[in-house]
Amino acid sequence: MSSPPFLPFNAPAVSEVEHDRRLVRRYLLQSALRFNAGSLLFLSLAIALLPLWLKLGPPAPGEMEARKLTPYIIAGGVVLAVMIWLALMSSGIARGFLARLVEEGKALSAEAMASSVARRIDAPFNPLTTFDLCTESLSGLALGTALGYSGPPAFFHDPFKGRIVLGRWRPLTLGRHVEVKVSSDLGPSCHIDVRCRPGLAWFTIQQGESLKTAELVSAQLRQHLARHASALDAARRERELERTSLQARLSALQAQVEPHFLFNTLANLKYLIRTDQQAAQEMLDHLVGYLQNAMPDMRSVSSTLGREMDLVSDYLAVMRIRMGARLRFAVEVADELRGLPFPPAMLISLVENAVKHGLERASRPGLITIGARHESDGKDGLLIVSVVDDGVGLTEQAGQGTGLANIAERLLLLYGRKASLFVEPGDAHGVRALLTVPIVGSPA
């Protein structure tokens, strides 16, 4: 006599799964009734045709009553025998399923023995996007293979009702199929109702197929929605990083202000305090106005046309005191344009370029004219600002340095190809610079 086998000392404990007895009795009875109901559908046709099969010849005079009862006696016996046999067969199949659950470490549940199982999924997208994502996820070969189909599932979808149906074959309602319903509630999010329906499989013994299908479809949808949400979050983070990098680059570009203007102005102010106090006071007032308008621009990427015009006016007023009669200027801008958004520190760079390379090199008095106008280019409005001087004109030194390159790079960063900087010779002398930017807001 062999000794009973012993488990090794380090073997994991075997969990004993016990089914709820009430659920087991209910499951066995349900399986017998479903199985018999399906089989009796076919037997009913045979019972209806049985009297015709037994009328083989004309009855004898004393056999009329017996022949009338014989078919029904035979049919009743056949039905009783078939029902007993089906009950025994259904009990064996059901108990086999219960044994498999025990082997898998699972207990019988109400959903495992149900013919229809439902799930609800919360989606973080609006109904239209959610329906498109569900259609994309459920119509592929991967889901059909996971469900045990030979190919992609038979598929039907109605975007107007937010309804998707998939199954093994058509017509979908005859076999076991899945209905997916996307809620039509307006808002940034919605929910998805997944329901597995049995079709004609209602008459079979339920062995967890509906639960498995509902869980599989729900998991597929959750994974697809999570991947899409993760991709959107990654794109959003990438845009945020790009925006932060853009902000840093713009701030670095705006910080490239010509320091010689401030140093030279302070040197001239020191000289005027000793020689001409009234001129020194006027220069100091304009310098304070210039700094008041320039300092906010160094910390932001947005300004207004009116503030930039005031900045330029104070700058030119200071330069006129320094240069005397050699510099004249005119600033022409309509009041309704002063509130339009305008990138900071660009107009002042064009004006500095005109003074440095146009008028300071000329041996005669010069004029700088600054204007702005509004134009419409199809759907978008354009703001065109011009800086015109009658100095020495375009020279090799006029385009050198970081001034114009700085402006061109900042325009590309801020507006892409919608903005432009165009520099050309003036009508008679000097240079005309045209700065065009799209209008992204309304006047303040």
Q: Which two three-digit tokens encode residue 273? A: 């305090």
Residue ranges matching CATH 3.30.530.20 in the chain: 117-231
More confident residue, 15 or 24: 24
Query: CA 385 to CA 387: how far, in whole Å?
Result: 7
Which CATH number fits the domain 117-231, given the four candidates 3.20.20.70, 1.20.1580.10, 3.20.20.80, 3.30.530.20? 3.30.530.20
Is the pLDDT reported for residue 355 higher than 70? yes
Burial group, residue 300, by CB count within 10 angstroms (0-12, 13-18, 19+)? middle
Q: Is the pLDDT score of 217 beyond 90? A: yes
In sequence order, the 6+-apart residues with CB closer than 8 A to the CB of 98 are: 19, 24, 27, 108
Closest CA to 179 of 164, 199, 157: 164
Of 71-75, 171-175, 387-391, 408-412, the least confident: 71-75
Strand partners, 367: 328
Residue 246 confidence (pLDDT): 66
Strand partners, 118: 195
Across 171-197, average pLDDT? 89
pLDDT at 229: 92
Distances (CA, A) of 196 to 115, 150, 261: 8, 19, 78
pLDDT of residue 146: 87
Task: Categorize the per-residue pLDDT at 333 as very low, low, confident or very high, splitting at 50, 70 and 90.
Answer: very high
Q: Copy the structure tokens of residue 254.
A: 């705006």
Which residue type is seen at 409?
A: E
Choice between 246 and 203, residue whose per-residue pLDDT is larger: 203
β-pairing verdict for 303-304 and 341-342: antiparallel
**Read out DSSP for 402-435?**
SHHHHHHHHHHHHHGGG-EEEEEE-SSSSEEEEE
In the chain, CATH 3.30.565.10 sits at 255-438
Lowest mean pLDDT among 257-266, 370-379, 411-420: 257-266
Signed CA dihedral, 159, 161, 165, 171: sign only: negative
Q: β-pairing, 154-158 with 420-425?
A: unpaired
What is the mean pLDDT of the segment spanning 363-372? 90
CA–CA gap between residue 387 and residue 347 (Å, rounded): 8
The model's confidence at residue 443, banded by pLDDT at 50, 70 and 90, is very low
- Most confidently modeled range among 73-77, 110-114, 139-143, 301-305: 110-114
**How would residue 118 be classed by pLDDT, with cut points 50, 70 and 90?**
very high
Give the neighbor-by-neighbor strand order of the sheet with 327-332. 327-332, 366-377, 380-389, 431-438, 420-425
> What is the mean predicted confidence (pLDDT) over 198-223?
90
Decide if pLDDT at 359 tops 70: yes
Indicate if the pLDDT at residue 63 is higher than 60: no
Q: Where are the extended beta strands (E) located within 100-176? A: 117-123, 154-158, 163-167
Higher model confidence: residue 49 or residue 1? 49
Average pLDDT over residues 60-78: 57
pLDDT of residue 444: 36
Q: Tell me, what's the pLDDT at 191? A: 93
Between CA 212 and CA 214 the distance in angstroms is 6
pLDDT > 80? residue 396:
no
From the list 336, 344, 348, the residue with the least C-alpha distance to 303 is 344
Closest CA to 410 of 312, 343, 340, 349: 343
Residue 255's pLDDT is: 53
DSSP letter assigned to residue 324:
G
Q: What band does 300 get if pLDDT is binned at 50, 70 and 90?
A: low
Mean pLDDT over all residues of the chain? 80
Return the bridge partners of 190, or none.
Answer: 123
* Percent of the chain with pLDDT strictly greater than 70: 75
> 221 near 192, Cβ under 8 Å?
yes
- Contacts of residues 141-146 at CB distance under 8 Å and 24 or more positions apart, as own/partner, are 142/220, 143/216, 143/217, 143/220, 146/216, 146/220
Q: Is the pLDDT of residue 179 over 90?
A: yes
Q: pTM for the whole thing?
A: 0.53
User: Among the listed ranges 118-127, 138-147, 247-256, which one has the minimum average pLDDT value?
Assistant: 247-256
pLDDT of residue 1 exceeding 50, the answer is no
Domain at 255-438: CATH code: 3.30.565.10
Nearest to 388 by CA among 360, 417, 428: 428
Retrieve residue 11's tokens: 């073997």
Looking at residue 181, its pLDDT comes to: 95
Of the candidate ranges 73-87, 94-108, 109-123, 301-315, the one whose mean pLDDT is the lowest: 73-87
> For residues 51 and 71, what is the distance between their CA atoms, to the nearest angstrom?
5
CB 398, CB 357: distance < 8 Å: yes
In this structure, the strands spanning 420-425 and 431-438 are: antiparallel
Average pLDDT over residues 372-387: 84
Q: What percentage of the chain has pLDDT greater than the value 90?
A: 24
In angstroms, the CA 46 to CA 52 distance is 10
Residue 54: its pLDDT value, please? 52
pLDDT > 50? residue 318: yes
User: Residue 77: CB partners within 8 Å, gap ≥ 6?
Assistant: none
Question: Over 50: is that where the pLDDT of 196 sits?
Answer: yes
Per-residue pLDDT at 442 exceeds 50: no
